[in-house]
């Protein structure tokens, strides 16, 4: 099956001006208000070809945004992969040696015998990440799907997502068999910790609307954390909230065991299959079917296909929240 080639609708910012950082870590800036408040991190370029976050962080740095309370960290993560971006082979710039978003366990970061470009970068950023209270990790998707929030498996993540209010789909999941994501690192992935994190999939990697989503979510996250007021942010970043949010609980990943995997149809994400047993793909010649009614496909893609990679996650709709209902719940 031929995979669609998506147009590159946005310009990739030159982030070299931010190379020095101000933390001793290249491309990482922290600004302290001097007033009590949380340490909030807005992170871009967890994957080198996911440009919407880089556009937002670049814009905030150039605008000179400073927090009224707490501390604000603005960071570009996998800058080495970003530097390799080639519009002729845009998916190749996702990472250099391994996925930066699969290395976030203390054991991996502590084991200095394990080396890769991504592990080295994660180790460098770890000193700052360890001090962060609230993380917003800005991502985009291989396929042209509606934007979504990856809230992790814990109740606190879902609560933060619904308080943010957008995008309209909240995904609750355990992550990937390959390794732990940044948003699940240490306290972010511990229900007993006050730390919390969200990962926003803003849209397809290079579509203009992904930048709109990234700006809106970043603005709302900073205001929700109490670091800034709307007047501090660039004009026009906020857009109307969706009428409803739905929470989708991932029950299982579909992991490729070989290169012999194909989908039954041209899925791009959030398709709902009304009946259990629907064939959605083929793995080593065997059918892959939906395990229950109203099964939702979460981020299906074969662009990074290799053995051990999650090619799609399967989820069920756990609940729906209208914004009018949610506002009333907050008041009570």
pLDDT along the chain (332 residues), means of 10: 81 97 98 98 98 98 98 98 94 95 96 96 98 98 94 97 97 87 97 98 97 98 98 96 96 94 95 97 96 95 90 94 59 34
The pairs formed by 206-209 with CB atoms below 8 angstroms and a separation of 24 or more are 206/6, 206/7, 206/8, 206/9, 206/10, 206/51, 206/90, 206/140, 207/6, 207/9, 207/10, 207/144, 208/9, 208/10
Give the closest residue to 169 by CA, choosing from 212, 134, 217, 230: 217
Looking at residue 2, its pLDDT comes to 57
What is the domain partition of the chain in residue ranges? Answer: 16-243, 250-321
**Can you identify the CATH homologous superfamily of domain 16-243?**
Zn peptidases (3.40.630.10)
CATH 1.10.3470 fits 250-321, yes or no: no
Predicted local confidence at residue 324, as pLDDT: 66
pLDDT at 186: 97
Enter the DSSP assignment of 31: E
Task: List, in order, residues 6 or more apart from 13 with CB less than 8 Å away.
Answer: 51, 54, 55, 58
pLDDT at 145: 92
Backbone angles phi, psi at 65, to 5 degrees: -60, 135
Backbone angles phi, psi at 254, to 5 degrees: -105, 115
> Which pLDDT value is given to residue 330?
41
pTM of the model: 0.92
């Amino acid at each position: 099956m031929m995979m669609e080639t998506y147009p590159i609708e946005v310009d990739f910012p030159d982030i070299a001006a931010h190379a020095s950082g101000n933390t001793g870590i290249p491309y990482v800036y922290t600004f302290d208000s001097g007033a009590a408040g949380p340490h909030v991190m807005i992170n871009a370029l967890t994957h080198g070809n996911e440009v919407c976050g880089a556009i937002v962080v670049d814009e905030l740095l150039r605008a000179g945004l400073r927090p009224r309370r707490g501390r604000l960290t603005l960071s570009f993560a996998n800058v080495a992969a970003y530097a390799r971006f080639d519009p002729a082979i845009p998916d190749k710039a996702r990472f250099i040696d391994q996925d930066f978003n699969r290395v976030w366990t203390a054991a991996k970061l502590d084991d200095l015998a394990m080396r890769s470009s991504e592990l080295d970068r994660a180790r460098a950023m770890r000193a700052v990440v360890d001090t962060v209270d609230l993380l917003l990790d800005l991502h985009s998707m291989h396929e042209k799907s509606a934007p979504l929030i990856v809230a992790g498996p814990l109740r606190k993540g879902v609560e933060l997502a619904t308080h943010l209010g957008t995008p309209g789909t909240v995904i609750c999941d355990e992550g990937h068999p390959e390794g732990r994501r940044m948003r699940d690192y240490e306290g972010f992935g511990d229900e007993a910790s006050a730390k919390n994190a969200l990962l926003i999939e803003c849209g397809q990697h290079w579509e203009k609307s992904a930048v709109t989503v990234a700006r809106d979510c970043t603005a709302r996250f900073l205001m929700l954390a109490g670091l800034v007021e709307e007047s501090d942010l660039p004009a026009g970043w906020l857009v109307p909230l969706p009428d409803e949010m739905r929470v989708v609980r991932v029950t299982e990943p579909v992991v490729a065991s070989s290169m012999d995997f194909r989908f039954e149809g041209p899925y791009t994400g959030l398709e709902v299959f009304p009946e259990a047993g629907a064939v959605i793909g083929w793995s080593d010649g065997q059918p892959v079917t939906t395990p229950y009614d109203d099964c939702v496909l979460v981020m299906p893609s074969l662009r990074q296909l290799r053995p051990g990679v999650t090619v799609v996650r399967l989820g069920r709709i756990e609940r729906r929240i209208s914004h009018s209902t949610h506002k009333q719940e907050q008041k009570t």
